[in-house]
Structure 1
Amino acid sequence: MVESTGALSVGEVAKRSGVAVSTLHFYETKGLISSWRNQGNQRRYDRKVLRRIAVIRIAQSAGIPLNEIKSHLDTLPNTPISVKEWRELSSEWHAILTERIEALITLRDRMEGCIGCGCLSLTDCPLRNPDDVLAKDGAGPHLLSSEQK
């Protein structure tokens, strides 16, 4: 890419966005932002990267994983993020966050039965074995990770 007027150095982007240079490099390796090299082989960024970084930081602070952030940002054109595009992104993320909040509330409410012993090995554990569905498989630990249900 040809050096454009108003291109920012990595230090300038770090200062203006409030993120460390190493974070900018990390974002770049993950494909969240992009830069080019000038004739002196120095990294340069277009000014529109500042808004993109702001969106990334907001999404991260809300607990949205980087891969989800990237998949949403990849749908946008290579222009500064518009108000309309931000509304669409935030609406999609709102739904994701609402689902997570509801799952956490359910988990919190179900933990009351197990919090006393902490072992989660009750015969009828509402967290790991609702309605004792694993009884048909016999005694013992059938679930070893939280990803299995």
Structure 2
Amino acid sequence: MTDLDIAEVARRTGVPPSTLRYYEERGLIASTGRRGLRRQFDPGVLERLGLIALGRSAGFSIAEMTRMFTPLGRPEIDRRVLAARADEIDRTIRELTAVRDSLRHAAECPAPSHLECPTFRRLVRTAAAGASRAAPRPALPRRRRAAEAG
């Protein structure tokens, strides 16, 4: 298969050319050269971009992925790091499930006031206890901090 033009890579992956250039600057991907002014990429870049997308959806920062990926070689991903991230996602799922259940119950509870509902009060106590026992959370990636601040 021949090299792919940056526009073709963007079209196939949905990743904007500006992001592809940024990933290249950070060492996550490498172009094979240029045809005119346009960067060319080996077709293997599509799989690598899939790995980057998976890493981003798992909450890995660009800096973390840069440490895992070598520019031309296969990613060297520490399995302990993956297990730790999976554990973090499990904790988040449990927390969000409790929040979802509380909201659904509050929306459907026939009690005159939510605070008069024993089930809702138990959910609130459980959430409060979980919040006080929760381990310190790692710093959020910059994009999440900015979104939460705004």
| TM-score bracket, shorter-length normalisation | 0.5 to 0.7
Confirm or deny: 8 A CA contact 1:37 1:44 kept in the other structure.
Answer: yes
Cα distance in structure 2, aligned partners of 1:110 and 1:73: 41
Q: 1:67 Cα shift?
A: 1.2
Q: 1:38 Cα shift?
A: 2.7
The gaps in structure 2 that reach 5 residues or longer are 99-124, 140-150
Match of 2:30 among 17, 34, 42: 34
TM-score by length of 2: 0.54
2:53 aligns with 57
The gaps in structure 1 that reach 5 residues or longer are 116-125, 128-145
Which runs of at least 4 in structure 1 moved beyond 6 Å after TM superposition? 108-111
Structure 1 residues 36-75: Cα deviation after superposition (integer angstroms, max 9, x where no partner): 433523211111111111000001001111111111112x
Cα distance in structure 1, aligned partners of 2:47 and 2:85: 22
1:13 aligns with 9
CA 1:24/1:43 → structure 2, altered by over 3 Å: closer, same or farther? Answer: same
Identity %: 30
Match of 1:112 among 128, 136, 139: 128
Q: Equivalent residue of 1:89, what SS?
A: coil
TM-score by length of 1: 0.54
2:82 aligns with 94
Cα distance in structure 2, aligned partners of 1:22 and 1:71: 21
Cα distance in structure 1, aligned partners of 2:27 and 2:66: 7
Aligned-residue RMSD, C-alpha: 3.6
1:78 aligns with 72
Higher helix share: 2
